[in-house]
Structure 1
């Protein structure tokens, strides 16, 4: 990923990789949990070689991203990650970018594309539309589906918080193995990412994220209106490619369930060959191809718009 840069953006001092030509069309790549920016190591190089400027930030609570104030809430609700992303784009003077992600990063990309379409050239999301709400999460699921979310309930307890703090590495390895059962990662790959969990706010952010989903942790009032808008499941109109690995072992919706929520140019792709949840790291070429396809679709849409305005 090259040298990690730091920039003050919003409430954070953000650590991020900046790969490719500075004047290239921007791509913002967002990781999830328990992963980090290295999920995009190969994707970033492919896109950079194609002429893109690729920005890959450590999310709050990961890597070298830290809070500017010791008194800032260590908030993990879904909307705050989108505000972090907008603040980063502003700090880097990037007006528009293709936004792409998986896991927490896919949800953040969804929110950006739905609520800030003027900042998004296009959108790539693994497992489609993941925007949720505390209201929706209050409804019980069938037992088999609840079982897949076992760690969410574990984190709801102080025992779970202490357990995650003590066993971060073991926890991440278990999730990697169950979410991507056919991914044969090596110890060096794993250790490189787990080092990002040494962040002093990591446990606070992870626990806050999952407790907020269940209504067990309060969000910040300043985000309440945005959360109400997200609870209404706003559509995404920017050009979009959604991706799914054929052996994704993590909880995820069926593609047919979210298709109506994408109202602009849209394509869904299933990536085969034993690809699991960490799709950009397991299938970097396919993920990068999706980003470039969205960029081309955005260019076509803008060209068509210009022609219609002239006409």
Structure 2
């Protein structure tokens, strides 16, 4: 199976999930997203895109490189979006999807992008707008760990993470392309910059919000301040295969790290749905 992390998180989000899955007989792959950890672009001329279409294409390329024909997917935040794209557009590669926040793909239709959330929720997403500015880009470059601390605290008000937790994640932010990838992700999702033309076809196909035909278990944290929990009904039409939705008590946005048992249980459940 393939697990993908989000921002500003790291593969360490699955620190307590992976052992549970391995004990159940799963072979687990836990890649870095581009711009994190040891990832490197092969050319200085490559567009440092952080857009969700690029992340989805990376998952597919990762599977092809390792000759992984099919896998169960599990992810949240950026990683959940990347895996959802592959499950929607290439369902023959996915045996089942576990996704936090149901269908975590940003709708890039201009009419959707301009729709505001509540003022309270927009304030939690302050970095969406801060990163549109040179000040935000400079701030992320100078203080990536402290930016992460602020986002973690706001996204997950019930999560009592340790300094060691934050330090383990922050080591993955020292990648030379980290800032460029992150800044592009947030500027692109608000349609303030162009995307990488190589992924234009994926972007176009995802504008239709294609449904997920594979078995799915979706999770919402009841303490997620970034994407408040739902009963799953608003996204029901986006799942045409078997789908179960759960609300997870005391879980914020980084659900696998905050409630690892619930996430691992969801992986086992999606296998049974198939």
1:57 counterpart SS class: coil
CA distance in 2, matches of 1:142, 1:45: 39
1:32-81 CA distance string (max 9 Å, x none): 00000000111111111111110000100101111111211100111110
Is 2:46 aligned against 1:43? no
**Which residue is equivalent to 2:190?**
214
CA distance in 2, matches of 1:118, 1:252: 31
CA contact (8 A) 1:64 1:199 kept: yes
Match of 1:227 among 181, 203, 210: 203
CA distance in 2, matches of 1:56, 1:142: 34
CA contact (8 A) 1:132 1:230 kept: no
What is the TM-score when the length of structure 1 is the normalising length?
A: 0.84
Is 2:236 aligned against 1:259? yes
**Which residue is equivalent to 1:9?**
none
- Structure 1 gap segments, 5+ residues each: 1-26, 299-311
2:29 counterpart SS class: strand
1:251-306 CA distance string (max 9 Å, x none): 3573222122111111001111x2111110111111011111111222xxxxxxxx
1:286 counterpart SS class: helix
Is 2:63 aligned against 1:89? yes
- The structure whose RCO (Cα within 8 Å, separation 6+) is larger is 2
CA distance in 2, matches of 1:253, 1:148: 15
CA RMSD of aligned residues (A): 1.3
Match of 1:72 among 41, 46, 50: 46
Is 2:245 aligned against 1:284? no
CA distance in 2, matches of 1:132, 1:94: 27
CA distance in 2, matches of 1:164, 1:70: 21
Is 2:149 aligned against 1:173? yes
Structure richer in strand, relative to its length: 1
What is the TM-score when the length of structure 2 is the normalising length?
A: 0.95
What is the number of equivalent residue pairs in this alignment?
271
**Which residue is equivalent to 1:185?**
161
